[in-house]
């Protein structure tokens, strides 16, 4: 069995929530890293709009308290 056959894909609200919290708390770090790997990278489309609107709607304390 190769590595690709061992990968399991799971879907669910909990996974979506955890991924979204990770993205919100690490947006600058992710953008910086992606731009180092691909010069000229900039997040576009729905993800960029979602991060901006979600951050505008969240209290700073909440975002800081979930930062790992």
For the four alpha carbons of 28, 68, 45 and 54, in that order, the dihedral sign comes to negative
Q: What is the pTM of this model?
A: 0.58
Q: Enter the tokens of residue 16.
A: 């979506």
Question: pLDDT tens for residues 13-54?
Answer: 888 888 888 888 888 898 888 888 888 877 778 888 888 888
63 vs 11, 18, 22, 31, CA distance in Å?
A: 24, 13, 10, 17
Report d(CA 24, CA 48) in Å as an integer: 10
Domain coordinates of the chain in residue numbers? Answer: 11-65
Strand segments, DSSP code E, in 1-68 are: none
Report d(CA 68, CA 59) in Å as an integer: 17
């Amino acid at each position: 069995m190769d590595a690709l056959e061992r990968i399991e894909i799971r879907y669910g609200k909990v996974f979506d929530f955890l991924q979204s919290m990770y993205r919100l708390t690490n947006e600058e770090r992710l953008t910086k890293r992606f731009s180092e790997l691909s010069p000229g990278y900039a997040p576009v489309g729905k993800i960029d709009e979602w991060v901006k609107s979600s951050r505008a709607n969240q209290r700073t304390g909440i975002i800081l308290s979930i930062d790992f």
